[in-house]
Amino acid sequence: MEYDTQKGFSTMSATGVATPRLDAHLGKFSQASTFVLAGLAFVFFQPIIVLITGLILALSALVPAIGPYRLVYRSILVPLHILKPKIVEDDPAPHRFAQGVGAVFTLASALVLLLSQATALGWTLDLIVFVLSGLNLFVGFCAGCFVYYHLGRLGVAPRVRYEGGFHWRGV
């Protein structure tokens, strides 16, 4: 089996079916970066950091190949041997969905903070992203992946592309 870095799948399994794979260390780097950016934005009361974080998450969810976290990870952290890829069998779709939900929350937070006086609502949305990215980073529970899995069971979203459905990897 050979890993295709552009699509996130091995080329073929023994049965002739593509097995979904992803780089777990890229995911952890993305979660850590989001956690740090959302926290810094709140501590320093900088809505512009919230906006930047939202744009990064939106780009990463919509066009993963050119997501800023992926570009930093693959062009700086991996070549410098700061992190090395850890390819695991997992469907990337729930993780992209989670990034998309994070993007919606952070962009909504930025809009509220920049365009209204409802700062409590804006910072609450930012802190939700901070807490959920921290939960995923430190405990290994992806709330967005959990929602995606259940939406798939209800027929609202595509079902995950691996056997066993939702599983909590832990840390």
The predicted pLDDT at position 140 comes to 93
Per-residue pLDDT tens for 108-165? Answer: 999 999 999 999 999 999 999 999 999 999 999 999 999 998 898 888 888 776 555 5
Per-residue pLDDT tens for 99-108? Answer: 999 999 999 9
CB 50 within 8 A of CB 133: no
Please name which of 24, 40, 23, 60 lies closest in space to residue 127, comparing C-alpha atoms.
40
How far apart are alpha carbons 47 and 81 in whole angstroms?
Answer: 33
Please name which of 87, 102, 92 lies closest in space to residue 37, comparing C-alpha atoms.
102
How far apart are alpha carbons 168 and 171 in whole angstroms?
Answer: 9
The predicted pLDDT at position 19 comes to 76
Domains of the chain: which residue ranges?
A: 22-153
